[in-house]
Amino acid sequence: MKTVSVILARGGSKGIPKKNIIDLNGKPLLSHTIKSSNNSIVSETWVSTDCPEIKECALEYGALVLDRPIEISGDKSKSEEALIDFAKKIDFDILVFIQPTSPMLSKNDINKGVQMMESYDSVFSAYKEHWIPRWTIDGKPHQWDINDRPMRQDKEELFVENGAFYITTRKRLLSSGLRYSGNIGIYEMDMLKSFQIDTLEDLDLIKKLMS
């Protein structure tokens, strides 16, 4: 069984320009997930990108590169489009889809996720969340009654996808068109390792957590 990883890193980024190669504690953001993948049990680490600068960075830090077609690299392009493009061009059995915005992902997380594929058809990473009262934008309780506020311990804990990785097989990806399908397993990560970089505030926080 051949297991590979792919990191989707397109050039366009609205929140932080050139986010995928922005400096994070002296190294480009992308390099952190490349390193974790290269040190894990996957046999190949790939970066799918439409950007020459990202391609250069990926090659410098030891990843293989697949040029991502411009028509599936826009702001509204779904990750699944790039994953399917990858699956049609690259040979593998199991795919670990890693997001570069999760630099605290470790090789051990990847290894344990891949090992779970012995029991599941797909696996994704998540953290466990206790119930907290949530409100809609227009100031209404979301899925709870203000006249009967629940106790936290009486509410079911939930898993929240942290976006660090998704694992599936090539066969299932191509047949379902989805990053996960079938019997799905959840790999639990610590909440502190689950932060993603989407804003400059996120970047400042993770710099401190990783320093």
Q: CA 132, 138, 140, 142 torsion: positive or negative?
A: negative
CA separation for the pair 43, 3 (Å, rounded): 6
Task: Give the SS3 label for residue 169.
Answer: strand
Measure CA 9 to chain center: 11
Q: Is 149 an active-site residue?
A: yes
Q: What is the DSSP letter of 151?
A: P
Q: CA geometry: angle at 123 spanning 164 and 39, to 5°? A: 55
The helix or strand, by DSSP H or E, that contains position 44, with its residue range, turns out to be strand 44-49
Maximal CA-CA distance, the chain = 58
| Catalytic option among 10, 68, 149, 179 | 149
CA separation for the pair 189, 182 (Å, rounded): 22
Report, as residue numbers or ranges, the catalytic residues. 149
